[in-house]
Structure 1
Amino acid sequence: MTEIVKGDENLFLALGFPPHEAEILQLRADLMGQLRLWIQDSGLTQADAAERLGVTQARVSDLVRGKWKKFSLDMLLTLAAKVGMHFRLELSRAA
């Protein structure tokens, strides 16, 4: 049976990851998505984006292709900050 995951739900929970791991994976996926949009909206080539981010073109390729296993949350936050993205960590207790 195929399970449909709504846009506001955590895909990684649906894939069977433990809740604590799914939260981090979702954060990483969201950040990667925002960085991909930044590259797209800026009209940058991967080489130009790599220069601005201070990484190799191969790393940008991994980012654009959604290879989330290759990026830590810390690395993604660093890249987001380098391009002027602002973020705030909001914590809440599980119900």
Structure 2
Amino acid sequence: MVKEFDSVWDAIENDQVQAANLKLRARLMMEVADYVKQSGLTQAEAAKKLGITQPRLNDVLKGRIEKCTIDRLVNMLSAVGYKVNLEISHAA
């Protein structure tokens, strides 16, 4: 029998709380990566606009999720004019 999951994070993380945190961080990291790609800036230039160092931006772009916190990712996006919204619903 094949078990299906809503996301890769649900598949690799048994703790639902941790899986939810990883999903949110991954989504924010993708937005940062999209910003950098679309901006045409170098990593150093983009990092400066995001309010972080180039090595920290490299961590985001390389998918090093363990080095990224939700608050830091939200701050990065806010620094370049993104508005981050949160939707909350009760899981049945």
Q: Does 1:74 align with 2:64?
A: no
User: TM-score, structure 2 length as denominator?
Assistant: 0.89
Cα distance, 1:17 vs structure 2: 3.2
What SS does structure 2 have at the residue aligned with 1:87? coil
Give the letter aligned to residue 56 of structure 2: R
After superposing on structure 2, the runs of 4+ consecutive aligned residues of structure 1 that deviate more than 3 Å are 2-5
Query: What does residue range 24-39 of structure 1 map to in structure 2 within 5 Å?
Result: 24-39=21-36
* Unmatched tracts of structure 2, length 5 or more: none
CA RMSD of superposed structures (Å)? 1.7
Paired residues of 1:10 and 1:23 also in contact (CA < 8 A) = no
Identity rate, percent: 36
* Unmatched tracts of structure 1, length 5 or more: none
What SS does structure 2 have at the residue aligned with 1:93? coil
Could you give the per-residue CA deviations for residues 23-72 of structure 1, whole angstroms, max 9, x where no partner exists? 11100000000100000011111000111112111011111101110011
What is the number of residues matched between the two proteins? Answer: 91
Cα distance, 1:10 vs structure 2: 2.2
1:51 to 38, 48, 58: 48
